[in-house]
Each structure stands twice: as structure tokens, then as C-alpha cells.
């Protein structure tokens, strides 16, 4: 039985005090929802402050990125060991990192290994760009990204994958439930090829890309979809809470 997971990726939004305000506003409602794992991913600078607010609750914390080295002369970077004491999850390979910060499959692979070594649970993001989708290359791109990201790893328990078609992120143009379910089914079959059927049955695979309270049910009703990685709507307490509640009702 895979416990559904809803993660809010706040991206580069909120000051420390705004982050604390946001999590405090969501907390009572979120904490009451059972049988769904709830994760918030604020910017690095707010992780400690948000941690203090959520301590002792059912809300979990994730970072949005990490460096793959443990420590050293890498000005401005944050290492897996620094995050390990603070959060449970870390988003790796988000398309915005691939697009604006030149994160390659090779870097994503190093980050995955570093996160696992530090005891963090990666939320690995994969997804095709619009032109790749239109050229019928979704399958090739998604399985390629998955295999490179996981290259050289043994199957990690607690591992989470987010299928996020790049054309659906922040555009208001979500995939359909059916499309997302098909690609996520393909991702699960690839995990079965790589690590066997038990791993494929365990791994949680989320959909991400313009998920809102209005379309969440369409995704959660799909058998292959285990939750959502939510961007814009995760900054709106009522929307995020509604997505989490609908997930609990449907699953
Ligand atoms: P969005 O972002 O929900 O704003 O489309 C999703 C994501 O980037 O994870």
C-alpha cells in the first residue's frame, strides 16, 4: 500500500517571516488529514524556522535542491549533510534547475546518490519539454532521464519520483489525468525493469504541473498516480489544503 504524498514546492517565494506565516496558516488543517503524507518545501533560508513550527506535527519538510559534495569550497551551496538534520525530503532535478542552472542528468545522478547517502529521501523530477512531447519522444526522454538519474544506485526505499511535463509547469495547462497516468505507468514499468516488481510496487510516483484544487481529483483518481508536486497552488493555503483533503477522500 503506497501512502499518497502531496508536496508543496514554494520555489523562490516567501521571506522567512512569510514562510512561517504560510505554514502556520496551513498547519491546523493539514495536520488533521490522515493517510496522506504532507510535505512543504520552502526556500533554504526558511527551513529552520519552518521546522520549528512543524515539529511535533504530521507535516514533513523538504528542500528544493542540494549540492552533491559533503563540504568544501563551494561558495553559496548547501550540502546533503547540512540538510539531513533539518528535513526528510529533497527535490532533485526540477526542470527549472535543468533549464536555468544547467543541471545535467549526470549532476542529477550525483545529487541523488549524495542525498541517499545522507539519509534524505529524494523527490526526483523528470519530464519532457513541449517540443519533445510534440515529436512523440515523451517515453524516450522520461525513461532516459530516469535511468541516468538512478544509474549506479541500489533501489532506495522511500524513493519518490515526480513526473512533471515541462510544458505543464506554471503554465496553467496541466496534462490530463489519463496522459499523466499512462506516463507514470511507463515510469513504474521502468522501475520494475531496473529493480524488480517489488520496488515498482513500492515506489511513489507523483504528477506535477499546474495542479490545483479544481483538477486534483482527476489525477488522484488514476491508479498509477500516488500524489502531486504542487507549485503555485501550494502558496495558497486553501488550495493546498483542498488538494490534500481531496487526496485523502479519493485514496
Ligand atoms: P506548478 O509547479 O504547480 O506551479 O505548475 C509545479 C512544479 O514546478 O513542481
- Residues 6 or more apart whose CB falls under 8 angstroms from that of 251 comprise 4, 35, 36, 220
Residue 110: predicted pLDDT? 97
Ligand 1 near 228 CB (within 6 A): no
Block residue for cell numbers 490545483: 212
Question: Cα separations (Å) of 226 from 18, 69, 73, 161, 217?
Answer: 29, 31, 39, 10, 12
Specify whether 140 is catalytic. Answer: no
pLDDT band of residue 155 (cuts 50, 70, 90) is confident
Which residue owns the Cα nearest ligand 1 atom 7? 231
Quote the pTM value. Answer: 0.97
Q: Which of 60, 61, 25, 59 is nearest to 43 (CA)?
A: 61
Ligand 1 near 210 CB (within 6 A): yes
201: Cα within 13 Å, side-chain hemisphere:
4
Q: Which of 154, 171, 147, 160 is nearest to 225 (CA)?
A: 160
Ligand 1 near 145 CB (within 6 A): no
Across the strands, what pairs with 106?
none
pLDDT band of residue 1 (cuts 50, 70, 90) is confident
User: What is the number of the ligand 1 atom nearest to the C-alpha of 229?
Assistant: 9
- Residues 6 or more apart whose CB falls under 8 angstroms from that of 101 comprise none
Question: How, if at all, do strands 37-41 and 204-208 pair?
Answer: unpaired
From 37, 67, 94, 121, active-site residue: 94
- Distance, in Å, from the CA atom of 133 to the CA atom of 90, rounded to the nearest integer, reads 27
Mutate to test the pocket of ligand 1, among 13, 129, 160, 211 (most ligand atoms within 8 A of CB): 211
Residue 29: predicted pLDDT? 98
Residue 192: predicted pLDDT? 95
Q: Any idea what DSSP says for residue 231? A: S
Which residue owns the Cα nearest ligand 1 atom 1? 231
- Distance, in Å, from the CA atom of 37 to the CA atom of 31, rounded to the nearest integer, reads 10
Would the pLDDT of 204 be above 80? yes
- Reduced to 3 states, what is the DSSP secondary structure of residue 89? strand
pLDDT band of residue 158 (cuts 50, 70, 90) is confident
Specify whether 221 is catalytic. Answer: no
pLDDT one-digit tens code per residue, 30-49: 999 999 999 999 999 999 99
- Distance, in Å, from the CA atom of 101 to the CA atom of 48, rounded to the nearest integer, reads 25
Residue 172: predicted pLDDT? 92
Ligand 1 near 64 CB (within 6 A): no
- DSSP calls for 114-148: HHHHTT-EEEEEE---HHHHHTT-HHHHHHHHHHH
Ligand 1 near 9 CB (within 6 A): yes
Percent of the chain scoring above 90 in pLDDT: 96
- The separation between CA 73 and the C-alpha centre of its own chain, rounded to angstroms, equals 28
How close is the Cα of 214 to the center of ligand 1, in Å?
Answer: 15
pLDDT one-digit tens code per residue, 77-102: 999 999 998 999 999 999 999 999 99
Amino acid at each position: 500500500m503506497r501512502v499518497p504524498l502531496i508536496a508543496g514546492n514554494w520555489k523562490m517565494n516567501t521571506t522567512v517571516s512569510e514562510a512561517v506565516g504560510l505554514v502556520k496558516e496551513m498547519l491546523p488543517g493539514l495536520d488533521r488529514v490522515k493517510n496522506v503524507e504532507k510535505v512543504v518545501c520552502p526556500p533554504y533560508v526558511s527551513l529552520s524556522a519552518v521546522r520549528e513550527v512543524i515539529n511535533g506535527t504530521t507535516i514533513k519538510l523538504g528542500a528544493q535542491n542540494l549540492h552533491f559534495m559533503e563540504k568544501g569550497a563551494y561558495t553559496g551551496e548547501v550540502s546533503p549533510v547540512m540538510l539531513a538534520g533539518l528535513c526528510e525530503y529533497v527535490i532533485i532535478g526540477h526542470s527549472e534547475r535543468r533549464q536555468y542552472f544547467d543541471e545535467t542528468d549526470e549532476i542529477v545522478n550525483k545529487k541523488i546518490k549524495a542525498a541517499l547517502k545522507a539519509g534524505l529521501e529524494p523527490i526526483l523530477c523528470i519530464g519532457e519539454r513541449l517540443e519533445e512531447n510534440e515529436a512523440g519522444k515523451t517515453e524516450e526522454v522520461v525513461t532516459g532521464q530516469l535511468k541516468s538519474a538512478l544509474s549506479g544506485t541500489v533501489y532506495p526505499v522511500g524513493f519518490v519520483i515526480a513526473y512533471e511535463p515541462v510544458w505543464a509547469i506554471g503554465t496553467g495547462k496541466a496534462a490530463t489525468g489519463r496522459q499523466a497516468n499512462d506516463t507514470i505507468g511507463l515510469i513504474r514499468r521502468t522501475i520494475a525493469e531496473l529493480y524488480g516488481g517489488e520496488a515498482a510496487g513500492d515506489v511513489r510516483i507523483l504528477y506535477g504541473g499546474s495542479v490545483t484544487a479544481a483538477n486534483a481529483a482527476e489525477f488522484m483518481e488514476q491508479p498509477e498516480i500516488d500524489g502531486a508536486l504542487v507549485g503555485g497552488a501550494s502558496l495558497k493555503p486553501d488550495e493546498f489544503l483542498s488538494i490534500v483533503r481531496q487526496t485523502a477522500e479519493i485514496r
